[in-house]
Amino acid sequence: VTYTPSRAHLALGVGVEFDAIRAMLRVWGAQASGIGDDAALLALPKGETLVVSTDATFEHVHFRRGWISPREIGARATAAALSDLAAMAATPAGLLLALGVPPDWRAELDELAHGVGEMAVASACPIIGGNVTRAAELSLTITVLGTAVRPLERTGARAGHSLYVTGTLGGAGAALDALLRGVVPRDADRARFAAPQPRLAEARWLAEHGARAAIDISDGLVADAGHLAAASGVGVALDLSALPCADGVTPESAASSGEEYELLVAVAADEPIDVEAFRARFGIPLTRVGRVTTGRGVSLEGRDDRVDLPSGHDHLS
Amino acid sequence: VTYTPSRAHLALGVGVEFDAIRAMLRVWGAQASGIGDDAALLALPKGETLVVSTDATFEHVHFRRGWISPREIGARATAAALSDLAAMAATPAGLLLALGVPPDWRAELDELAHGVGEMAVASACPIIGGNVTRAAELSLTITVLGTAVRPLERTGARAGHSLYVTGTLGGAGAALDALLRGVVPRDADRARFAAPQPRLAEARWLAEHGARAAIDISDGLVADAGHLAAASGVGVALDLSALPCADGVTPESAASSGEEYELLVAVAADEPIDVEAFRARFGIPLTRVGRVTTGRGVSLEGRDDRVDLPSGHDHLS
């Protein structure tokens, strides 16, 4: 990506707002680039399409204080935003962080910034701008920009395609259930909730190996399979018995667990994917979980017929 | 701008969150483009630089319920974000709207969307994406993308340049003072607070007529003149007696009034700007308010020496 490398920051003025920005810039070091003007500048590779998404993480909606550390909150919010670029098989080019900060979170700004910075470094994504304002509850609204020669869209699924999912499912949901009950989640489940990874390199590999459509399953597998089906004008048949479930998680729970940040991809049937090569390369499984049909909506196979469709996450109701 | 024109929206799934998005899409009509994938796609004109900024408007920080209508809140938040593109002399290419919506604002979503849409139409800026989540207080975090062949940066001011400001100053501050006191503002002042206009066309004209640096004065003239000076490594001498003040507003108040969304530009002295041509074209004044010096910081001329520097707005403290 040809973003201007390590563009110098502008000298910032005085005041609490700029002090907060300066503190974050100290944390981010060379990962932040060209901060301080009214807007950020980005030179994009010729011939590539700009891919852009904005994603918000709000206290009380996406997490509660004490469930995960401020550093995890920063990294998780950044991963969630970058996951939308992964779903398009895009390469990150830059991110902007808009923070809403209540007074009693002010002391955590450094740790929040550390979390954002760690995920930005891990994803090779420069931090190019943002906004800080006080607010009643903590929020991180992160805009991610990326580029792709041929973005992977939700609309590309066709009847006959095979459906694959990355990683294992249900851990994040199990952790969330435990946290909501006031129980300490198992370590593996907690990590799935607290430290999701955007599947950026995985998505680009999949796009190069026959994937025709993708969606991230942050709303849960069944809900997002429904979105993929609606966008492509097709049906989706999921095989619950095939789901790669986290230890101790039922397929029904794995199918409805939100906040997963794995990818569901539709692959042309004449290009069978080498799932072993995928696992060897990325250290996570790639599992065939169903197929695209000529119908509409999502149907479930492999269990008895009375299985209800889990509804997935909704961040407004 | 070569964004894909009227890109069709994807079919959206079920649920309250999607219902809210569908309602906004009905309001926006053809102004919204390609909504519904994990991320938005944008093809940019060859040879132009991408300009991007994110700007947040929070209830209780930037406005209070009842001060201005939901439609005005939407338009104002959009104008504030677009003003950052204006400050770079960029042409809008698209915006993403991240909404934090408390339950008791849910019924106002249509009107908020109308406000965003009206400003998007007025600025020829497609709405290409966004995010909706529930929240404790209303917030609109708007990311704007634009392009420019030669963006106008804060760093371009040099000793000897003349400083010009667009429009008249102090009305927004007078309205804010009145609202904070529980008094009804004068109509003209209220309009300056409730319905600011991003100076997009004005900025491009100025860039073509000798402007070398620009900043929007959303933090107030003196505060933002300080930011311009710091970014350019120069001093700024403002002539308070020259300020284009709103009726009944003192120069000191006009110099510190925030939320103005006018532009301060530095113009090479050998390219005197035709302020009459500017007024004839845009219907607002362009006024020489000072000069760039070899010093540092902001000094005030034209009044007695004891004038203190107004500190401007700070959205964190």
- Asked whether residue B2 carries a pLDDT value surpassing 70, the answer given is no
Q: Which of B17, B46, B146 sits opposite A315 (nearest CB)?
A: B17
**How far is Cα B108 from Cα B218, in angstroms, rounded to an integer?**
26
pLDDT of residue B5: 43
**How far is Cα B296 from Cα A158, in angstroms, rounded to an integer?**
63
Q: Is A262 on the interface with B (CB under 8 A)?
A: no
What is the distance in angstroms between the Cα of A198 and the nearest Cα belonging to chain B?
A: 13
How many cross-chain Cβ pairs, A to B, lie less than 8 Å apart?
Answer: 253
**How far is Cα A4 from Cα B228, in angstroms, rounded to an integer?**
22
Q: Search chain A and give the residue with CA nearest B131.
A: A55
**How far is Cα B285 from Cα B279, in angstroms, rounded to an integer?**
5
DSSP state of B246: P
What is the distance in angstroms between the Cα of A77 and the nearest Cα belonging to chain B?
A: 13
**How far is Cα A164 from Cα A264, in angstroms, rounded to an integer?**
6
Structure confidence at residue B312 as a pLDDT band (50, 70, 90)? low
Average pLDDT score over residue span B238-259: 93
List the Cα angle A160/A165/A166 in 5-degree steps.
145
Residues in A 131-150 with any Cβ partner in B closer than 8 A? 131-137, 139, 141, 143-146
What token pair was written down for A137? 């509850």
ipTM of the complex as predicted: 0.91
pLDDT digits (tens, 9 = 90+) for A40-51: 988 888 888 999
- Asked whether residue A9 carries a pLDDT value surpassing 90, the answer given is no
Region of residue A36 (left: phi > 0; alpha: psi -120 to 50; beta: else): left
Q: Is A61 on the interface with B (CB under 8 A)?
A: yes
pLDDT digits (tens, 9 = 90+) for A63-101: 899 899 999 999 999 999 999 999 999 999 999 999 999
DSSP state of A129: E
- Sign of the alpha-carbon torsion through B175, B178, B180, B183: negative
- Asked whether residue B13 carries a pLDDT value surpassing 50, the answer given is yes
A17, B314: Cβ pair inside 8 Å?
yes
What token pair was written down for B261? 């969304």
Region of residue A210 (left: phi > 0; alpha: psi -120 to 50; beta: else): left
Q: Search chain B and give the residue with CA nearest A217.
A: B38
Structure confidence at residue A302 as a pLDDT band (50, 70, 90)? low
Contact A312, A220 (CB under 8 A): yes
pLDDT of residue B9: 83
Structure confidence at residue A3 as a pLDDT band (50, 70, 90)? very low
B88, A315: Cβ pair inside 8 Å?
no
Average pLDDT score over residue span B237-241: 95
Q: Which of A40, A58, A153 sits opposite B100 (nearest CB)?
A: A58
Q: What are the CA-CA distances from residue B163 to residues A108, B20, B81, B237 (Å)?
A: 40, 45, 23, 9
- Sign of the alpha-carbon torsion through B295, B87, B77, A131: negative
- Sign of the alpha-carbon torsion through A252, A254, A257, A261: negative
Q: Is A87 on the interface with B (CB under 8 A)?
A: yes
**How far is Cα A125 from Cα A159, in angstroms, rounded to an integer?**
36
- The closest of B257, B209, B256, B213 to B234, measured between CA atoms, is B213
Structure confidence at residue B302 as a pLDDT band (50, 70, 90)? low
- Asked whether residue A31 carries a pLDDT value surpassing 80, the answer given is yes
Average pLDDT score over residue span B186-215: 96
- Asked whether residue B186 carries a pLDDT value surpassing 60, the answer given is yes
Contact B152, B88 (CB under 8 A): yes
Site from B37, B108, B259 to mutate, A interface, most A CB atoms within 10 angstroms: B37
**How far is Cα B212 from Cα B159, in angstroms, rounded to an integer?**
12
Q: Which residue has the higher pLDDT, B196 or B15?
A: B196
- Asked whether residue B134 carries a pLDDT value surpassing 80, the answer given is yes
- Asked whether residue A136 carries a pLDDT value surpassing 90, the answer given is yes
Q: Search chain B and give the residue with CA nearest A13.
A: B227
Average pLDDT score over residue span A254-272: 90
pLDDT of residue A34: 85
Pairing of strands A91-101, A127-134: parallel
- Asked whether residue B305 carries a pLDDT value surpassing 70, the answer given is no
Whole-model pTM over 0.90? yes
Average pLDDT score, chain B: 90
What token pair was written down for A20? 């907060």
What token pair was written down for B89? 């002399």
Question: What is the maximum span of chain B, computed from C-alpha positions, in angstroms?
Answer: 65
**How far is Cα A7 from Cα B213, in angstroms, rounded to an integer?**
18
Average pLDDT score, chain A: 90
Q: Which of A17, A54, A137 sits opposite B129 (nearest CB)?
A: A54
As a whole-number percent, the residues of chain B with pLDDT over 70 amount to: 93
Structure confidence at residue B4 as a pLDDT band (50, 70, 90)? very low
What is the distance in angstroms between the Cα of B84 and the nearest Cα belonging to chain A?
A: 5
Q: Residue B97: what residue type?
A: L
Contact B13, A227 (CB under 8 A): yes
pLDDT of residue B34: 85
Q: Which residue has the higher pLDDT, A34 or A69?
A: A69
- The closest of A203, A210, A213 to A90, measured between CA atoms, is A203
Q: Which residues of A touch B143 (CB under 8 A)?
A: 52, 54, 96, 143
Q: How many residues does chain B have?
A: 317
Q: Residue B53: what residue type?
A: S
B40, A52: Cβ pair inside 8 Å?
yes
- Asked whether residue B269 carries a pLDDT value surpassing 90, the answer given is no
- The closest of B192, B190, B176, B189 to B247, measured between CA atoms, is B189
Residues in A 6-45 with any Cβ partner in B closer than 8 A? 10-17, 20, 36-44
B230, A90: Cβ pair inside 8 Å?
no
Average pLDDT score over residue span A242-246: 96
DSSP A209-220: TTEEEEEE-TT-
pLDDT digits (tens, 9 = 90+) for B54-72: 999 999 988 899 899 999 9
